[in-house]
Amino acid sequence: MKLRPSVDVAPGRSPRQAIPFLLPALVVLAALVLYPLVFSLIRSFFDATGDEFVGLRNYVDTFTDPRTLTAFRNNVIWVVVAPAAVTGIGLILAVLTERIRWATAFRLVLFMPMAISLFASGIIFRLVYEETPNQGVVNAVLVGVHDMFSPSSQYPGARPREGYTPTEAGFIADAPARAGDTITLPLVGFSPQDVPAQALPASVPAAGNGEVRGVVWLDVSVGGSAGKVDPIERGLPGIAVEAVRDGQVVARTTTGDDGRFTFPDLASGEVAVRLPSSNFALPFRGLTWLGPSLITPVIISSWIWIMTGFAITFIAAGLSAIPRDALEAARVDGATEWQVFRRVTIPLLSPVLLVVFVTLVINVLKIFELVFVIAPGSVQSEANVLALQMWQVSFGTGGDQGAGSALAVILFLLVAPAMLFNIRRFRRERS
């Protein structure tokens, strides 16, 4: 007997009944998602005003424009670094949280950034990485740690008026000194207000027998003469002075409150007087996090802060779905915990890790707000990414909707593999 399969297997359930259910959603999707996709594709072949067909020129321009190329480069950095980092951190933390009782609370804390806007997260990290150490906490911590190991100098930025050559080690005298010499060392480039309170008026010491004596003072040109010790000028206390012979430090001393110093028993021969650079080192101000060179890592770190909770929660759900039997069987078979993790947990978890990774890649490709908010206007071109560039080209300063459409299409093409991945996963789950 020949029978044809039923297509309409359920009587009374005609397509007509589906229409009222589907219509509202389909109209909106067609008008505001599908139609725009087609429109953007077409629009990308026209010029800025949309009047003239220019073929692929927008695409050619896009790939030759240095700003867009920077955006491309940054997107590549993002895709290579960020999703892998978050997946890895998420995996480690998810595994660790399995062993603690307050896992739920922990995951809640790490998930919290997902709830707040990228705009607010951006502000939060702008504040975290703010450059001045009295505003940005990261630099404050860095300065604190730095000063703990190398205390800041007393006379930042000061330098000898003349006759000294700046070197790595410090300012070294051009003219040699020998026993019995008296050295006057006027310093400039320092504000009199910042001179320590205990400083006494400076005076040139008398020459001593077999000794090298000298004075270091702040030489002000207003109300005094340059290079001469004037009555109003004060000695600079606490400055390290070294005597150097053949590149070796033979003596070291420190100036007193009146700025005087003495090398007592220098053997005969010439020495060079040197003021070590530690006297004048500028205070450590931390790193320029929001400057051109660090801006992308900084934004990535804030994205990691936002997305890690998602990865942990997703991976933890995957971990709890692993059948206990499999793990216990492995333990009974004599595997160590590491082997169980490496040989059983990870393989069973790999589909979950893949989904997390792909999700994060999609998210990264569309990154916009974080860069927009965290990167200060002056370095935005350094931190640029495609999504931001698309907005700037078409709505910001550019106003070129042809080029903007081309960028939108490129963005779409970059996301397309993830789209196919999702569809395949969906199909597989159904069958």
Partner 1 sequence: MTLVAEEVRIEVPVSGAPKRGVLSRVAARLGNGAIQLLLALVAVFWLVPVFGLLIASLRDESANTATGWWTVFTKPAELTLANYAELVANQAVWQSFLNTFYIAVPATVLVVVMASLASYALSWIEFPGRETLTVVVVGLLVMPIQVALIPVAKLFGAFGLFGTITGVVLFHVAFGLPFAIFLLRNFFAGIPRDLIEAARMDGATEWVIFKRVVLPVAKPAIASLTIFQFLWVWNDMLVALVFADQDSAPITVALRAQLRQFGTNIDLLATGAFLSMIVPLAVFLVFQKYFVQGVLAGSTK
Partner 2 sequence: MTAVALRDVSLVHPGGTVAVNDVSLSVADGEFVVLLGPSGCGKSSILRMVAGLQRPTSGQVFLDGVPADDVPARSRGVSMVFQDFALYPHLTVADNIGFPLDVAKRPRDERAERIAEVAEAFGIGDLLDRRPAELSGGQRQRAAMARAIVRGPRVLLMDEPLSNLDAVLRSGLRAEIAGLARSLGLTVLYVTHDQIEAQTMADRIAVLRNGVLEDEGRPDEVYRHPATMHVAAFLGSPRMSLFKAYVQVVVDSHVELHIGGQAIDLPWPDMRARAVAHYDGEDIAVGARTEALRPAAPGSSGPVLKGQVRHLEHHGHETLVSVDVGAWGVEPCGLHELRTGELVLRVRPDVRPVHGEHVGVHLCLEQLHFFDLANGRRIGPRGRRR
Considering only residues 183 through 242, tell me which ones interact with partner 1, judged by CB under 8 A: none
60, 76, 114, 200: which one binds partner 1 (CB under 8 A): 114
Q: Is 193 in the site for partner 2 (CB under 8 A)?
A: no
Site for partner 1 in 7-46 (CB under 8 A): 8-10, 13-15, 17-18, 20-22, 24-26, 28-29, 31-33, 35-37, 39-40, 43
Q: Choose among partner 1, partner 2, none what residue 3 binds, the Cβ cut-off being 5 to 8 Å by kind.
A: partner 2
C-alpha triplet 396, 73, 38: angle, nearest 5°: 55
Residue entry with tokens 């990865």: 311
Q: Is 64 in the site for partner 2 (CB under 8 A)?
A: no
Nearest CA among 270, 259, 275, 274 for reference residue 204: 259
Site for partner 2 in 254-313 (CB under 8 A): none
* 3-state SS, residue 40: helix
Do residues 139 and 131 lie in contact, with contact meaning Cβ atoms separated by under 8 Å?
A: yes
Alpha carbon separation from 152 to 282, 283, 337 (Å, rounded) = 7, 5, 49
Q: Is 1 in the site for partner 2 (CB under 8 A)?
A: yes
46, 85, 130, 242: which one binds partner 1 (CB under 8 A): 130
Fill in the amino acid letter for 299. Answer: I
Complex with partner 1: residue 22 or 56, whichever CB lies closer? 22
Stretch that binds partner 1, among 77-85, 96-104, 168-176, 178-186 (CB under 8 A): 96-104
Closest approach of partner 1 to the CB of residue 39, in Å: 4
Q: How many CA atoms lie within 13 A of 303 on its CB side?
A: 29
Indicate left, alpha or beta for 259 from its phi (over 0: left) and psi (-120 to 50: alpha): left
Q: Is 148 in the site for partner 2 (CB under 8 A)?
A: no
Closest approach of partner 2 to the CB of residue 431, in Å: 12
Q: Choose among partner 2, partner 1, none what residue 409 binds, the Cβ cut-off being 5 to 8 Å by kind.
A: partner 1
C-alpha triplet 244, 151, 133: angle, nearest 5°: 135
Closest approach of partner 2 to the CB of residue 427, in Å: 16
Q: Choose among partner 1, partner 2, none what residue 31 binds, the Cβ cut-off being 5 to 8 Å by kind.
A: partner 1
Nearest CA among 360, 385, 365 for reference residue 373: 385
Q: Is 404 in the site for partner 1 (CB under 8 A)?
A: yes
Site for partner 2 in 8-47 (CB under 8 A): 8-13
Q: What is the DSSP letter of 110?
A: H
Tokens of 232: 């109003």
CA distance 234 to 202: 5
CA distance 427 to 245: 82
Q: Is 4 in the site for partner 2 (CB under 8 A)?
A: yes
Complex with partner 2: residue 1 or 222, whichever CB lies closer? 1
Q: How many CA atoms lie within 13 A of 118 on its CB side?
A: 16
CA distance 179 to 64: 69
Q: Is 55 in the site for partner 2 (CB under 8 A)?
A: no
Complex with partner 2: residue 4 or 324, whichever CB lies closer? 4
64, 134, 397, 431: which one binds partner 1 (CB under 8 A): 134
**Residues in contact with partner 1, shown as a per-residue x/- string from 360 to 399 under the rule CB under 8 A:** --x--xx-xx--xx--xx---------x--xx--xx----
Q: Choose among partner 2, partner 1, none what residue 387 binds, the Cβ cut-off being 5 to 8 Å by kind.
A: partner 1
Q: Is 148 in the site for partner 1 (CB under 8 A)?
A: no
Site for partner 1 in 43-72 (CB under 8 A): 43
- Residues in contact with partner 2, counted by CB under 8 A, come to a total of 12
DSSP string, 346-402: HHHHHHHHHHHHHHHHHHHHT--HHHHHHS-GGGHHHH--HHHHHHHHHTSS---HH
- Residues in contact with partner 1, counted by CB under 8 A, come to a total of 96
Q: Choose among partner 1, partner 2, none what residue 5 binds, the Cβ cut-off being 5 to 8 Å by kind.
A: partner 2
CA distance 198 to 255: 12
Site residues, partner 2 (CB under 8 A): 1, 3-13
